Structure 1
């Protein structure tokens, strides 16, 4: 198949990478696992047995309404937590084949919807946000992820203060979460070739 390159002739790419079917279940599993891997999982609360305080029964069993044993019960201020959270690992196993399959699926769907914009080159001469905004306006894109073979310092500095640019990354920095969040993905020809080598 061919990818349209803005301002240049179309480039031939693999059908498997940029033209495959959209596998929603796989994409959801990989995106969820990717986000969960970033969770600290350090939240900790005190259960009934861990709260400090007296265990003495503070009222008689009958005749006073509700029956209580001590003030450490979850319904009292300063008491325990009924189902106390404990530190845990949120990470999920995703093997390489699944991850690459999800990335192919996302890129193919972006291409199908016209949200993948391929350009011959993408850079700015000066680290100015104004210059980058003008360049993105020419491409008619919204919230964007820019994927380049090599990210120049000027491009990075121009993009970091622009809320419309979610990320500026090289091929190795692409993540499924950023691709799914973006309205458009602007990718250079050289980056597209590297992505094809990686995912083919």
Structure 2
């Protein structure tokens, strides 16, 4: 089963509905045992990095997510959830992330306007990657002011907004989408479907 982590950071219903439409049969939970053991864990999130880490720690989920990664079990982070996968963030201070993918979350420096809000093209590193199967275009929806600065070997696709930034990252069974697949129409749904088939 797929579980969506409830740590009081963002609207879980839109993510859950998109997953249901694709046959993921998702459940929303904050139960550590389920988050450790279920087939696929999705970490969504909207808001501040600091608050997200605080909530994960208070619910006992920070260490559980790290343990799950060590066990090689799939995790998908979406938007803020993707940023939490990295080593640290400099959003309004300096805060430790899950460190599942090496890198730092930093604020846009060359963006024409912050936040980056709206539709933008993914720029795949390798269009033959299974994540991009059956896509007619790469147009997806973003809302964020910070992005992950990481080694290109972890980047599946970039996007550009004043500067190039990672839009999809991957390390082993850990995936991150900076965009919102649940708000990205048929492209977002197809990418979620492709990911499910890969896992």
TM-score clears 0.5:
no
Structure number with larger C-alpha Rg: 1
TM-score (norm 2): 0.29
**Which has the larger strand fraction?**
2
TM-score (norm 1): 0.29
**Which has the larger helix fraction?**
1
